[in-house]
C-alpha cells in the first residue's frame, strides 16, 4: 500500500495527531476494508501551501502562522481542522528538510 499513502497530521489543540492519508479513489479501487478510527474528510475549500518543517526535533509550533495571516488578509478565517500531508524528507544542500502540504479549511469572515 506504500505507493498510495502518505503520513499526515491534523492540529488538535496544541498537538499534532499523526496518521496515514489515503486518497478515497485508491481506497475504493483497492477494495480495502474499513479500519477502526478511519475518517473520511469531506470536500471543502481550503488554502493549500507547501511548507518546510525543517529538521527532525526542531518542530516550530508557529509553522502555519504566515498562511493563517494570509487567509485573514484575504477576508477568510479558519473553517475547520487544519491538516497536512508529509510530501517528502531528505537533504537539500546539506540541510535536512521535511516538506508538507498544508490544508486550512476556509470560510468567509462574518
Taking the chain (110 residues) in runs of 10, the rounded mean pLDDT of each run is 74 82 84 81 89 80 90 94 89 87 92
Give the list of residues 6+ apart from residue 98 with CB closer than 8 angstroms, or none. Answer: 52, 53, 54, 55, 56, 86, 88, 89
State residue 1's pLDDT score: 45
Going from N- to C-terminal start, the domains of the chain cover 2-32+41-108
State residue 107's pLDDT score: 93
Instruction: Indicate the pTM of the whole model.
Output: 0.80
State residue 75's pLDDT score: 95
Give the list of residues 6+ apart from residue 40 with CB closer than 8 angstroms, or none. Answer: 24
Amino acid at each position: 500500500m506504500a505507493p498510495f499513502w502518505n503520513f499526515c497530521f491534523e492540529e488538535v489543540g496544541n498537538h499534532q495527531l499523526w496518521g496515514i492519508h489515503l486518497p478515497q479513489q485508491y481506497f475504493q479501487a483497492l477494495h480495502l476494508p474499513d479500519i477502526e478510527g478511519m475518517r473520511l474528510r469531506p470536500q471543502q475549500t481550503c488554502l493549500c501551501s507547501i511548507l518546510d518543517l525543517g529538521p527532525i526535533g526542531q518542530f516550530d509550533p508557529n509553522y502555519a502562522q504566515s498562511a493563517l495571516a494570509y487567509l485573514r488578509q484575504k477576508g477568510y478565517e479558519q473553517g475547520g481542522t487544519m491538516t497536512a500531508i508529509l510530501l517528502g524528507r531528505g537533504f537539500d544542500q546539506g540541510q535536512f528538510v521535511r516538506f508538507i502540504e498544508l490544508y486550512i479549511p476556509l470560510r468567509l469572515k462574518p
